[in-house]
Structure 1
């Protein structure tokens, strides 16, 4: 049986217990080395905690340990016999919303945590909305710290009803709600004996069994060329390969393909990896493709199906999550990075700014501030080869860069390319 990979990101408000939950998953699945446990126990004593603070397994920065908060995205890895997991533990503070966007952008599942004592907060709603905006296919709401409300079914049902009502306004594909206590381990790896009223699965059981294969686009062939391989040796004098990561569809030797933006067509001669030739390639494999015809191809070009091509356009309608202290305004010029292609872009128009809580569209807004989300129109200096983000997250997403400072200042999702 092939063991697949599930990428998940935690999200939620400050002190909802995201890092503790991930620490509990690592600890209870025996994915932590003895010396790591000893280090966490020592750090817990130094902080004055009367328990082993499992959050310290993910909060690796010194500033995080000193302040007791998560600042940067912490990636952790563990595995069970059924599946491998890549976990992005993202910050809860509003000023680190951009870090949460980074962690969730490649996730198959978003884990939203809510403190049972506090219920839904603004940041809980913000992160849930961002997860759906980023088209994360699966959403799990963990009502945490149930031990601090005496494992009350009534408290859980109130939060479940409120979140279900809020989620009805969002584009949620799959929603699961689980009552847990990360500190005590209830419903994390094993079913809780203190919440007999809950009849659903434990968190790990759900993570092991949630279906993700169909969430990846295996229809639209998309292969952005990252690098042209031309070995400088007599043995490989005639070798020309195009390396990159498959962003969509299934590629096989003998397939007829088209190269954009030139529009020339050819067939795939072979597909190779570091281990040798393969019979097919699919997302998100990194491969080298050789073609039967010599075509002028360079970094930023894309290989696709003849009758199934992405949009080739310089006019982009997109949702933007702004990540910089300096506001985004119409007329602003920025660098844009889309798949393997780079260009410059101008903000033609700001259509509206979105209120995260009410989902109200402020069409009078004249700028986007730090962590604001809004819809804009961009004009690029070179054509981009893109799909709508909801169809393909790889070819529908991009980042905006301040050319003066080289900082990433915005993350974008294509709504429409014309």
Structure 2
């Protein structure tokens, strides 16, 4: 069992860290204050190849896989969780085409998705159905050789700058299909941008579809099999992506806590000498190391084409809840400074909290894991 990265993966980590520290770090405060996505940084991520990590080489990507993806998202999220989250949704939007698209669809869309000429959202959640996917109300009806889509999606990350949307729609009684819908089609309308208290600089909003017509060739997978397309993409790409963002937050919490504890002096000595502070640091350290093992193990399994629904749920639940715990401990290490906006702890805590419901709540993750746990019955 190997616990080290390849030389190519280490080079990728170095590139991601240099980009994050040199180009992203100076923009973090601005992103948090304005809530706006810095599109020049999004473009730079594509230029560096970060947008095409899951796309096979024959379609214009690098095909470096899931472990490589975790590396990049962790490094970027260590500096800016919102930008890391933006990137992970870029990958999620590509996933239905990568794993379920026809050869014609792959050749049409993947090269454009790899270089960022196309950016896809994943438009599944609705006011009536998030974790309860069967509750969605968006419909698609067949008229000749076209599908006509009507409905409203909410909490869609990257909605306001994506130029193609992956849409799950109801096509029959308990039947759903998945469509790629170009953003410039008549009837596609952007709604409100949500004003989140965390992950600011990562846009989340609404998309409305008013009798939007798409051709048959925009259907991804078989008619009536859209749930499999959407849920497999969320499980194998969305949940691990959220976990990798949490991993970046955990690493930053550990670094900031250790640095501050060594520099801050009370009673004539660094607070790192105080056992109470040491215990907080060890709790952060344990949560980071545990999350790291869960996240990269699940990614390694996916790169071996092994089904890992439970492992994906486990790493997502543990890493996100651990990030909240660690950020709270970090604010305690900083004391009163931890709640000031000019210091990093409060921002990390706000960002971490937003990850809990993303790609399925912790309760839903436990439901997924329970199915696996019951298989251990002798």
Q: Which has the larger radius of gyration?
A: 1
* TM-score normalised by structure 2 residue count: 0.26
Answer 1 or 2: higher relative contact order, Cα 8 Å, separation at least 6.
2
